[in-house]
Amino acid sequence: MLRLETRMPERRCSDPVLENLWHPVAAIPDVRERGPITTQLLGEKLVISGQAGEEIVVSELPDVGIGGPAVEGSRAPSLPVLESFGFVWTSLGSPPETLFDIPEFHEPDRWYENSGSFGVHTSAGRVVENFLDLAHFPFVHEGYLGERPYTEVKEYSVGIDNGEIWATGCEFYQPIAAVSATDGQVTKYSYRLAHPFCPLLYKTSPLDPERFDVIGIFVQPMTEVQTCAHQFLCLLDETNDDATIKRFQAVIFGQDKPILENQVPKRLPLEPRAETPIKADKTSIQYRRWLTELGVSYGVLRDETKQAVTAKEEVQ
């Protein structure tokens, strides 16, 4: 059956709250090793330069296609740059002096790295919600992060603390909670959202049950429906090498990606009645309410009538 499609035109973000945030745009090693990189942020084309020994610079690049060579003389004035957690961050507006902190990142016995940056054809909000969703573990990540018949999402708490969303008291049985795991375990989880597009989870470390591994996805909203998910790991792991850990994370994200890219609409609906929530969706409900209160309109659907129309337009 043929299916008509009307693609939504790309637009530049006009949300002050998003323009004035720090956003991840590349892993530092990629910039150092590959030279100038072209990408997008909130509908703006950027070039990132700074090979070994050079200062990293991010500039708007309106006349060059994504992935293309930088054209001499075409760059706009440079944007703010922050190097943090192994990534280059920038802003289209006036960002705060510092980024949120991850205290575990400063602990000397931890392994930390970008475990991959993956393009996803969906909105940043959809990627964040998938990361926050416990219920999909036994169905999408069966044999790894979940296993049937252990499908129940137990009661947990969600709230806002100091401007951040926290979901605490989460538990789930996982056959392979991490690449360092040697057996299945009931894993304790806490989720943290200190940035609209940068969710973090703290989960029981198989190496030390009294401490937590920290895993995050720093989501770069390239356009309203195209994102780059930069994976951040801060683990306790004394046995596995970089390649093994990255391969495990790539398998997990590879299971999520087709689910994400087939969700319709691609932009995240904020209207409470647009999608039917279940008990396990408390974090998602809080997240959508938070985006609404922040005034986010880029990459989301705020109006029920518009949602019905756009759902048809975004079918792929």
Tokens read off for 101: 């902190």
What's the rounded mean pLDDT across residues 135-149? 58
**120 within a domain of the structure (yes/no):** yes
- Residues 154 and 241 grouped into a single domain: yes
Q: How many domains does the chain have?
A: 2
Give residue 305's pLDDT.
Answer: 43
pLDDT at 195 over 60: yes
Sign of CA dihedral 316, 16, 216, 191: negative
**316 within a domain of the structure (yes/no):** no
Tokens read off for 20: 């004035």
- Residues 67 and 141 grouped into a single domain: no
CATH of the domain at 247: 3.90.380.10
3-state secondary structure of 229: strand
**241 within a domain of the structure (yes/no):** yes
- Residues 250 and 182 grouped into a single domain: yes
- Residues 24 and 75 grouped into a single domain: yes
**304 within a domain of the structure (yes/no):** no
What's the rounded mean pLDDT across residues 195-222? 92
**Residue range of the domain that includes 82:** 16-90
**9 within a domain of the structure (yes/no):** no
pLDDT at 5 over 50: no
Among 81-90, 249-258, 287-296, which is the least confidently predicted range? 249-258
pLDDT at 316 over 50: no
Interior/surface letters 157-180, b for 16+ CB within 10 angstroms, e for the rest: ebeeeeeebbbeebbbbbbbbbbb
Radius of gyration of the chain (CA): 20
- Residues 118 and 210 grouped into a single domain: yes
**201 within a domain of the structure (yes/no):** yes
- Residues 79 and 220 grouped into a single domain: no
- Residues 117 and 227 grouped into a single domain: yes
- Residues 58 and 141 grouped into a single domain: no
3-state secondary structure of 250: helix
Cis, peptide link before residue 103, omega less than 30° from 0: no
- Residues 79 and 209 grouped into a single domain: no
* Residue 87 contacts residue 100 (beta carbons within 8 Å): no
- Residues 125 and 265 grouped into a single domain: yes
Neighbour-count burial of 66, counting CB atoms closer than 10 A to its CB (0-12 exposed, 13-18 middle, 19+ buried): middle
pLDDT at 207 over 90: no
pLDDT at 182 over 60: no
**97 within a domain of the structure (yes/no):** no
- Residues 166 and 289 grouped into a single domain: yes
The pTM of this model reads 0.84
**73 within a domain of the structure (yes/no):** yes
Give residue 165's pLDDT.
Answer: 96
- Residues 237 and 142 grouped into a single domain: yes
